[in-house]
Amino acid sequence: MANRKQLKKSVKSITGELFADCVALSMCNQADRQKLDELMVEVLNLHADFVQRISHTEPGAARLYYKKLKQEFTEKVNALSQRIVEA
């Protein structure tokens, strides 16, 4: 149970940083406001989706499930981060 708790904290921390980057860019007026709003919504959806998936583990091999989950989260965060930089 402690691992789930730590994983949820990590997801919250990472998505919080992405959201903060979007807010900082919007306050500096250095990017398209509509594009940043869409990215912020995506970050919030990413957070909700992964916290829900951590809370409700699929039956079967838990180790493989969490390994796949972490890999997918990393890929999505990297893609979102790249899109924020391009905004």
- The ranges assigned to domains in the chain are 2-86
Q: What is the pTM of this model?
A: 0.86
Would you call 65 exposed, middle or buried from its count of C-beta atoms within 10 A (0-12, 13-18, 19+)? middle
- Residue 78 clears pLDDT 90, i.e. is over it: yes
Per residue in 16-36, pLDDT (tens digit) is 999 999 888 888 877 788 888
- Residue 2 clears pLDDT 60, i.e. is over it: no
Per residue in 56-73, pLDDT (tens digit) is 887 788 888 888 999 999
